A and B are shown apart, each in its own frame.
Chain A
Amino acid sequence: MLTIDQATYDAIVSHAKRDHPDEACGVVAGPEGSDRPERFIEMVNAAGSPTFYEFDSTDLLHLYREMDAQDEEPVVVYHSHTATEAYPSRTDIGLASEPNAHYVLVSTREHGNSEGSAEFRSYRIVDGEVTEEEVSVVPGLIGSPQHTEHN
């Protein structure tokens, strides 16, 4: 199951809507092994295409160096489909290379750049095998910076 806070969920959907009809992509990083998507990072789709996405190679290196330095990993890798359903394509499956990540797919085919809900689904993709999982949207991740507890 993917547990994600509302603000990050909204940020992913809003990025997908903004970049429609091109595919949008990005990462939500979190502490290694925590399974907590905490740090939202929009990436540029270097392919600039309605049918393909790819992180720019220099941006990719910077991203991984930054995550390494902070003991983070990509907890969520997201991208949008702009004319098809939010299900991993054959290419998505073939190229998925983060076995520990939640692959989030957002489809903007219904409302495009306009207001309105977008299909938001999450998958594990390991060795070419896709497993859809439940998405639980919470107000804030417990123990994360945006969730302060008082005694």
Chain B
Amino acid sequence: MAIEVRIPTILRTYTDGEKAVSGEGSNLSALIADLEASHPGLKERLVDVKDGKDDLRRFVNVYINDEDVRFIGGLGAELKDGDQVVVLPAVAGGC
């Protein structure tokens, strides 16, 4: 089971410069754990711990087949073979 994951420029230091990597998992949390095994350090950039449990970082957007995962279960969002995952850091700031 392979899922293509698009990696943004800023995180390509973890993927030897690759724009896309492939991983597996039945949900986003499992996919991230799988990616962490082959690309150590990546998880830390995507996930932090809130109230004792993992949560997506506030300023990281993850999409499954063009859907923002925040609307489809966050880290629990289900995945299946052939799904396309895109990771994009938020473009944000403030004075």
Residues of A within 8 A of B (CB): 23, 25, 27, 43, 47, 49, 51-55, 57-58, 60-61, 64, 73, 77, 79, 81-84, 88-89, 91-92, 95-100
Q: 0/1 per residue, B3-44, Cβ < 8 Å to A? A: 000001110000000000000000000000000000000000
Query: What is the CA–CA distance of A89 and B63 in the complex, to the nearest angstrom?
Result: 28
Query: What is the CA–CA distance of A99 and B10 in the complex, to the nearest angstrom?
Result: 7
Q: Is the interface of A mostly helix, strand, loop or mixed?
A: mixed
Nearest residue, chain B, Cβ from A85: B95
* Given contact pairs A61-B61, A61-B88, A98-B10, A52 touches B93 in the complex (Cβ within 8 A): yes
Chain A residues whose CB sits within 8 angstroms of the CB of B92 once the complex forms: 47, 52-55, 91, 95
- Are B93 and A89 touching (Cβ within 8 A)? yes
Rounded to whole Å, the gap between the CB of B48 and the closest CB of chain A is: 14
Rounded to whole Å, the gap between the CB of B8 and the closest CB of chain A is: 7
* Given contact pairs A61-B63, A97-B89, A23 touches B94 in the complex (Cβ within 8 A): yes
For the A-B complex, the count of residue pairs with Cβ-Cβ distances under 8 Å equals 77
- Are A91 and B90 touching (Cβ within 8 A)? no
- Are B61 and A60 touching (Cβ within 8 A)? yes
Chain B residues whose CB sits within 8 angstroms of the CB of A83 once the complex forms: 95
Total count of chain B residues near the partner, CB < 8 A = 18
Residues of B within 8 A of A (CB): 8-10, 59, 61, 63, 66, 68, 70, 86, 88-95
- Are B94 and A91 touching (Cβ within 8 A)? yes
Given contacts A51-B94, A51-B95, A53-B92, list 18 more A-B pairs with CB under 8 A: A43-B91, A47-B92, A52-B95, A55-B90, A55-B91, A57-B63, A57-B68, A57-B90, A60-B61, A61-B61, A77-B91, A81-B95, A89-B94, A89-B95, A92-B93, A95-B89, A95-B91, A97-B10
